Amino acid sequence: MAQACRCGHVSGETRGPIDISFFQCRYESHYRRAPRIQYRVAQRDHAGGLRLHYQPQLRIDGSVYGAEALARWQDAVLGDVPPSKFIPLAEEYGLIEMIGTWSLREACQQISAWRRAGLHVPCVSVNMSPINFQNPDLAELVRNILSENDLAPDALMLEVTEGVVMCEHSTAIETMEKIRQSGVRLSMDDFGTGYSSLSRLADLPVRELKIDRSFMRDIESQASALAITRAIVRVGQSLGMTVVAEGVETDGQRRLLAELGCDVTQGFVHAPALSVPDFEHWLARHMATYGEAASADARQMSAADDKPTLKLVSANPRPH
């Protein structure tokens, strides 16, 4: 009974200061999961808890641009818990900043491990919550983690949402500016779904725009989705930003984005988010395939350059 009251109380708090809330059975599984997630995250249980998976990002020419680090949760009892479930719980129970910091540290350790093993991933993007950017010490934390792992600032990209930009607190913008000054780049995630003004975007220390995956679903069939995507690409180009399209699933979408001038694509057309061993295997296969293709192109260009050329000279040149 007491547990049911607590569940109803928390539910009521999310709707406002004056509210009457009744316990419903659907709350029960939700709140039984929360303590497990809270305990396992707090204990950093790496024997079957929080993990980072990596989704490749490729330039239009096929070369590797980087990877996005995505948190995944696997519970010993509940099994795989999708981000759509555990991220809201983490936000509700005050754990989201901890997950952001953990992801940052874990990603940098992984980049360093890859480079020691001879695997070059140019850059890894890490999602940070708006709460992370309210921490005035975030820029110093980022510098320290990079230094601990002997990484240059350009090895890391931090993704922010439009919600951070629209926040009235100056701390977030000041923190973003400190991070930019340290050499770490910032990416605007899910661009096109929020309400950030273009005039404000031009003043932000952001070097990358990520087109939200919702536009990719209809880009081949709906003129409105195509028009919005084209507009985002042009905005990014005019501001000197790299434009990344996420959620790309088909070759048709990829070709269309290339025609629009998009710089980088990410999605199932290349690979899903992969565990570290699977990502390493994917990277080795891709580099072998891409290297062969690049070598073939180079040979064709060399052969074209080596072809004998015929120069026509007039038998009666004009006097100068």
Q: Please give the DSSP secondary-structure letter assigned to residue 250.
A: S
Q: Using CA atoms, how far apart are residues 146 and 247, in angstroms rounded to an integer?
A: 29
Query: How high is the pLDDT of residue 240?
Result: 94
| R_g (Cα) of the chain, nearest Å | 24
CA angle 240, 241, 246 (to 5 degrees): 155
Query: How high is the pLDDT of residue 5?
Result: 52
Q: Please give the DSSP secondary-structure letter assigned to residue 270.
A: T
Element (H, E) at 255: helix 251-260
Q: What is the mean pLDDT of the chain?
A: 81
**Domain with residues 47-293, CATH architecture:** Alpha-Beta Barrel (3.20)
pLDDT digits (tens, 9 = 90+) for 215-235: 999 999 999 999 999 999 999
- Give the three-class secondary structure for 259: helix
pLDDT digits (tens, 9 = 90+) for 187-209: 998 887 665 667 778 888 899 99
Task: List, in sequence order, every residue forming a beta bridge with 314; answer none if it has no partner.
Answer: none
- Give the three-class secondary structure for 68: strand
pLDDT digits (tens, 9 = 90+) for 120-142: 999 999 999 888 998 999 999 99
pLDDT digits (tens, 9 = 90+) for 43-67: 544 444 889 999 999 999 999 999 9
Query: How high is the pLDDT of residue 301?
Result: 53
Half-sphere exposure in the Cβ direction for 101 (13 Å, CA): 19
Query: How high is the pLDDT of residue 86?
Result: 81
Q: What percentage of residues in the chain have a pLDDT greater than 90?
A: 53
Task: Answer whether residue 184 shows pLDDT above 70.
Answer: yes
pLDDT digits (tens, 9 = 90+) for 250-301: 999 999 999 999 999 999 999 999 999 999 999 999 999 887 665 555 555 5
Query: How high is the pLDDT of residue 302?
Result: 54
- In order of 50, 171, 190, 214, 238, the CA distances from 228 in angstroms are 35, 31, 13, 11, 15
Q: Are 276 and 54 in contact (CB under 8 A)?
A: yes
Q: Where are the domains of the chain?
A: 1-43, 47-293
